[in-house]
Structure 1
């Protein structure tokens, strides 16, 4: 967990550091910076399941070696690239990024017995929150106070160092009990394990991240509308602390709500946040209930994916979870931003909640359709034998 915490830190620095570099050093606008970020996000979303599949097949060390070299080379080269070249290489760089998030969940699933996995996933989610509290702030401080070449190359060195540590420690991606079965059996076809329930889980995960990023955008817009942007950092800290508390509670209790219920509450509780103009301190308070459900929803998603995916394809399944969350992030920001631009910040909170519910509803309907319209092969064989 400590190792994966540090492996995530350079990833949390990427977005804000690239944005500040493109805007401040290259003299481009925020739209141009968003183009670079979108290329990186799209590459990582498409690459996560591919990298996971390769880890399933070849093991951790060779894939981490390739990804570590790629990420290090990209960040060391960034200060020497033109904007056009940067946009072009951002996609393959995202495609070959070290999959710290999905890899951490895969390793935890291998190391932790089933009855204790919810607690482990909750602690991992808490550490994710902590990394997002530290990483972006450190990235902004570095890019504003240090030479851009030193900052960007430093991020590359961090990627290389964490990849080297992963190579040295080589944490297990399957438990000792799973290893003989996995090595003996063939890889199950995609249609056999990518069930309706798993697809529904991925949609719910995308909806949750849509809601979270939309809430952040709406919060920034609300503070700007009331002229209280100086309190943004404190409000964000309150939101993160609320999520940490929720993660502790979710991991400590013997039984918790399922993923769909947690995500439903997450989305519903954010809808009324912006119904009235309010000072920053009141906005921070009314954001607490929805943010308390943030870490539990993410932990429950990992728990569900880990339970549904066979050990042989767990890396690919965790990669699909990463892809779904990144797509939710990529969609949420522009959609909620559009709603705010054409209405008000209050409707940004509404758009965050309603949009998340719509995405989750698509997944749950898909699950229901696959469940009612598909008879598993094992059940058909059993019926024929009977």
Structure 2
């Protein structure tokens, strides 16, 4: 923890972490708020699911696109535009009477304009700290983001059930605007300029490290989403146990990230972390009691934030600075698709064999992640004796002869 205290004393680091967590806080609230609001308006969870699907598709498309725009028009311009459009779409969904197609359209627009704060901040980090501090910073970031997934669902559920779904959506818009403004106006954001990438859009996926990070992110988040669906199915939507078990899952990730973030990253780091996740998820097979699931998922959670930290560090170390934002955008898209497919697979298995099917799906996805990490181990960079800073962008310098 002393290392993290020194890290947070570095000028600008604590401020930019707090600002980006606030700006991203709506990410943990939006899906649940839309689900509750659309179901209340239409009386159908199926309709709410369609709106959430449209929103997720918009987010998946936007990830690499808006991230790449930051190298063309600048971080602040892109974040200001996307924040404004996303807030406007949220206000329409909250205040304007809409039919299902209208909710889907504005949900898609809200997803499409989701501010690329995550890509921006992970591109900025290498400019704030020394190369020695970068890997611990990625680990701290991956750990602290669990605060969003612990607190945000609780906050939006309380507001939506006590005050109504419209105030819930308005709260999301308010945090989006205020948190976004805090991040956008942070001096660190203004000091960093992402060079325009000279490579064609999508070419960065051709780098084995970025492709590996995207695939493993897809599998890891898919596994987590399947398990989350299983927990809800086990205890019911209104069960207090579901919220507590999922909170313990996130606390495990927070503890794992803070405890092991200082460990140097070798080629086998990802495989070891995913094995921890797989063991924890496999333990869920033996009992569906709240105590056993909580303990099992705490173990699984210990590997999640460290695995995400490996993804961020290996990506940063393997691409040019001008390509980092787009690379993180693709990784985010992979995670979104994984979340959607993991939830869908879990849903079918829950209908077919009961809640345990969701835990089977989660463990299976985690096992595939371990297999990918082991068989492709040579594709992971060894960062034990090097830093995770991006490759500098260079260009020919004219020489007068």
| Match runs of 1:18-57 below 5 Å | 18-24=34-40, 26-57=41-72
Q: Is residue 330 from structure 1 mapped to residue 323 from structure 2 by the alignment? A: no
| Match runs of 1:150-229 below 5 Å | 150-172=167-189, 187-189=198-200, 190-191=202-203, 194-224=206-236, 229=239
Q: Give 3-state SS (helix, strand or coil) of 1:56's partner.
A: helix
Mapped partners of 1:20, 1:136: distance in 2: 12
Indicate the residue corresponding to 2:163 in structure 1.
Answer: 146
Indicate the residue corresponding to 1:105 in structure 2.
Answer: 122
Q: Give 3-state SS (helix, strand or coil) of 1:331's partner.
A: helix
Q: Is residue 315 from structure 1 mapped to residue 332 from structure 2 by the alignment? A: no
Aligned 8 A contact 1:272 1:349 in 2: no
Distance apart, 1:36 and its partner CA: 0.9
Q: Is residue 252 from structure 1 mapped to residue 262 from structure 2 by the alignment? A: yes
Residue 273 of structure 1: which of 269, 272, 284 is its match? 284
Q: Which has the higher helix share?
A: 1
Aligned 8 A contact 1:207 1:360 in 2: no
Indicate the residue corresponding to 2:22 in structure 1.
Answer: 6
**CA pair 297-277 structure 1, distance change in 2 beyond 3 A:** same
**CA pair 228-76 structure 1, distance change in 2 beyond 3 A:** closer
Tell me the C-alpha RMSD between the 2 structures. Answer: 2.7
Q: Hey, which bits of structure 1, 4+ residues long, moved more than 6 A?
A: 362-369
Q: Is residue 123 from structure 1 mapped to residue 134 from structure 2 by the alignment? A: no
Mapped partners of 1:209, 1:174: distance in 2: 33
Can you list the C-alpha shifts for 1:119-162, whole angstroms capped at 9, x where unaligned?
A: 11111112210011111111111122224433322322222222
Indicate the residue corresponding to 2:396 in structure 1.
Answer: none
Q: Give 3-state SS (helix, strand or coil) of 2:42's partner.
A: coil
Aligned 8 A contact 1:71 1:160 in 2: no
Mapped partners of 1:337, 1:173: distance in 2: 44
**CA pair 171-230 structure 1, distance change in 2 beyond 3 A:** same
Mapped partners of 2:116, 2:240: distance in 1: 34
Q: Is residue 298 from structure 1 mapped to residue 308 from structure 2 by the alignment? A: yes
Aligned 8 A contact 2:222 2:365 in 1: yes
Q: Give 3-state SS (helix, strand or coil) of 1:357's partner.
A: helix
Choose 155-164 or 248-257, whichever is displaced more: 248-257
Indicate the residue corresponding to 2:77 in structure 1.
Answer: 62
Aligned 8 A contact 2:205 2:327 in 1: no
**CA pair 368-108 structure 1, distance change in 2 beyond 3 A:** closer
Aligned 8 A contact 1:269 1:290 in 2: yes
Residue 263 of structure 1: which of 243, 254, 274 is its match? 274
TM-score by length of 2: 0.81
Mapped partners of 1:254, 1:355: distance in 2: 26
Aligned 8 A contact 2:28 2:148 in 1: yes
Aligned 8 A contact 2:24 2:117 in 1: yes
Q: Is residue 239 from structure 1 mapped to residue 249 from structure 2 by the alignment? A: yes
Aligned 8 A contact 1:196 1:366 in 2: no
Q: Give 3-state SS (helix, strand or coil) of 1:171's partner.
A: helix
Mapped partners of 2:75, 2:208: distance in 1: 29
Runs of 5+ unmatched residues, structure 2: 1-16, 380-401
TM-score by length of 1: 0.84
Q: Is residue 349 from structure 1 mapped to residue 364 from structure 2 by the alignment? A: no
Distance apart, 1:350 and its partner CA: 1.9
Aligned 8 A contact 1:118 1:251 in 2: yes
Mapped partners of 1:143, 1:151: distance in 2: 5
**CA pair 333-173 structure 1, distance change in 2 beyond 3 A:** farther
Distance apart, 1:28 and its partner CA: 2.6
Mapped partners of 1:18, 1:29: distance in 2: 12
